[in-house]
Amino acid sequence: MTLRKSIIIPLLAATWLSAVPAAMAQDPVPNAAATAETAAPVAHPLTKDDVELMVDGFLPYALKRGDIAGAVVTVVKDGQILLAKGYGVADRETNEPVDPEKHLFRPGSISKLFTWIAVMQQVEAGRIDLDADINQYLDFKIPNSWPEPITMRHVMTHTAGFAETVRDLIVRGQDHPLELEKLLSRWVPERSYKPGTVPAYSNYATALAGLIVQRVSGEKFEDYIDKHILAPANMKHSSMAQPLPAHLAPLMSKGYASSREPAQDFEIVNHAPAGSLSASGADMGRFMIALLNQGEGPGGRILKPESLAQMWKPQYRPLPGQELAMGLGFYEQNRNGYRIMGHGGDTTLFHSDLAMWLDEGVGLYISFNSTGDDMSRGPIRNELHRMFADRYFPAKTAAEPTKAEPVTRKVPVSGTFYMSRRVEGTLVSLINLFGQGDLITNEDGTATFTLFRDYAGIPKRWREVAPDRWQEVGTDSLMHTKTDENGRVTGITTDDYPAIFIAQPVPTGINKSWNLPALGIAMAIALFAVIWWPVAALVRRRYGRPHPLSGQHLLADRLVRGSALMMVGCLTGFALVMTLAIDPLMFGEIDLILRLLQLAGLLGVLGLLPAGWRAWKLWTDPAAGWWARIRASLMILVFAYFLYLVEKFHLISVALDY
């Protein structure tokens, strides 16, 4: 499930983007087909020997450079497994090589496809209506934040409108997952958008779908998946049970942060329908075969052909004109004019992708058992996908070079944006201040959006080739914008990403353009007040000077400096938690630290009272110096701004839900 930093810091999933050679980033000509070949590329025959040679020539070296212990690659064609091969090791201690038939990997959010299929099975059985209020299937109620109800269609297209959740998503060292209904009913995340209007990928919403399947079918969710999907697909080395059944547990590949570090404990996904599957590479091939065979598995039918056709039919596009659409659970990954449906997935340790060329009866599955270098796993699986697509399914005809007329805009594109998939209404929302990107017009007329980067981490450059349609300089990658009547950009997407989120303008109140400078100044003033406290004491002691203040003024001064220390500690602590303690946040292992930070925040906010009293006394005392008055006034501004941050980003709360 797209987890880890990609949950907490919106768009660290930017590693999904394609690499752009630096030499190709210099094209000054506004030509929509500047890189088109004069002749159509020739497709290679998709045979076992050819694809194995291609993967063998790329993946072992890529895994070594990416610090990844092991991987599995499965290719299916015409109802058969063409290639199922392991690379690297499943266990570093024993040096056991990956066996694609027996070793289980964690596909993460690819598990969602099994949940969506289960939903469609219940639609076929007449127990679920895709367009009915999901509250009718639950024992607890989703609050009516909007007049429009949430439907299963909204859930399956990730347009239910829920804010992202982090806490209790994945845990390690726990015996079993939390009971699903108790987990989901305990706290309902904020509903940020009206249903059906904005894409915001949601693990919580997917877990709701799994719970609904469990309730209407009368079967425990993992048992339902085993009986109605895994068994008909002949997936004997797969399970959504946590922990794994006794006969499968010894076959589980170890999971690693990197190929150099020791194995970590089996991950328990509490929102199980969103990511709890464990499966061998060969079994994932059998799953793709069943889907490509119109839902017919070797052990029975999984879905009716018309149900699959509905799941693969475009249901939602975030912006008009966007190439890639969201289906029912599946999302489009189209390339070179071919219809490709699939899904990606990440736990904290395993990283996977599944893609199916629907009309060609071909599927590709890739999975890694290590996180490795933070910038490697996404590019490696995406590059393998690209190599596979361009070698076996290149564009059928060469594009005719055509010149695009320059697009004239009322105002140059600009603005600060953040992603629609984000945490809202909880203390983790502080990260939204640091997850913002800038849309910039360059001198040559191209635009740069700093959240869309290439493999080297360099922001891409885009040229507008039609109104609100942008082509990356040097490639055929597309970016889409939405522009209001005043010429301002109000939304950004790219076909490099699936249609599961959109970049939105950042409200002025939390915009980094003024908040980050204000935060820096406030922290500098507070730090000066804190550091000067012991320094002044040492100077006075060295020269035998008494403290210049006494009585209430001395007490107020000490309270102000103490509160400044609490403020600095609170903000520094939260920043470290958001950037360095992502796993403990997910696992709920740092509640005590969060409570201490909240206490520090409360004491910091209370500094506004003595700061205000001291400033009032100084400004009403004719004998007070101007420097003392200015210093006291600055401290009022510092504490007032800190109070603003606490309120805007919910740093102090009774419940630790996030």
- Read off the pLDDT of residues 144-197 as tens digits, 9 standing for 90 and up: 889 999 999 999 999 999 999 888 888 877 778 889 999 999 999 999 999 999
Helix (H, G, I), strand (E, B) or coil at 427: helix
Helix (H, G, I), strand (E, B) or coil at 104: strand
Specify the pLDDT at position 35: 39
Q: Calculate the alpha carbon distances from 293 to 39, 115, 356, 617 in Å.
A: 34, 19, 12, 81
CB 269 within 8 A of CB 276: yes
**Among 32, 530, 34, 67, which residue's Cα sits nearest to residue 261?**
67
- Backbone torsions φ then ψ of 637, nearest 5 degrees: -65, -40
Distance CA 210, CA 224 (A): 10
The residue type of 121 is Q
Specify the pLDDT at position 37: 43
Q: Do domains 30-35+45-392 and 415-506 have the same CATH topology?
A: no
Q: Calculate the alpha carbon distances from 599 to 293, 430, 603 in Å.
A: 58, 17, 6
Question: Which residues is 462 bridged to in the sheet?
Answer: 447, 472
Distance CA 244, CA 319 (A): 41
Specify the pLDDT at position 280: 98
Q: Calculate the alpha carbon distances from 197 to 22, 423, 443, 541, 557 in Å.
A: 37, 18, 35, 65, 52
Specify the pLDDT at position 569: 95
Specify the pLDDT at position 540: 83
Residue partners of 377: CB distance under 8 A and separation at least 6: 15, 66, 68, 351, 368, 370, 371
Query: Going by CATH, does the domain composed of 415-506 fall within 2.60.40?
Result: no
Which token pair is 16?
Answer: 């999904």
Domain ranges of the chain: 30-35+45-392, 415-506, 512-648
Distance CA 44, CA 334 (A): 19
Low-confidence ranges of the chain (pLDDT < 50): 2-38
Classify residue 168 as left (phi > 0), alpha (psi -120 to 50) or beta: left
- Tens digit of pLDDT for each residue in 617-649? 999 999 888 998 999 999 999 999 999 999 999
Specify the pLDDT at position 374: 67
Distance CA 12, CA 14 (A): 5
Question: Which residues is 188 bridged to in the sheet?
Answer: none
Our CA dihedral for 516, 604, 623, 630, rounded to 10 degrees, sits at 0
- Three-state helix/strand/coil letters over 282-297: HHHHHHHHHHHCCCEE
Residue partners of 655: CB distance under 8 A and separation at least 6: 187
Strand arrangement of the beta sheet that strand 238-239 belongs to: 104-105, 278-280, 238-239
Classify residue 220 as left (phi > 0), alpha (psi -120 to 50) or beta: beta
What top-level class would CATH report for the domain 30-35+45-392?
A: alpha beta
Specify the pLDDT at position 584: 61
Specify the pLDDT at position 586: 62
Specify the pLDDT at position 2: 43
Specify the pLDDT at position 17: 25
Give the relative orientation of helices 591-606 and 551-580 as an angle to the nearest 10 degrees.
Answer: 150
Say what the pTM is: 0.89
The residue type of 461 is R
Distance CA 280, CA 631 (A): 65
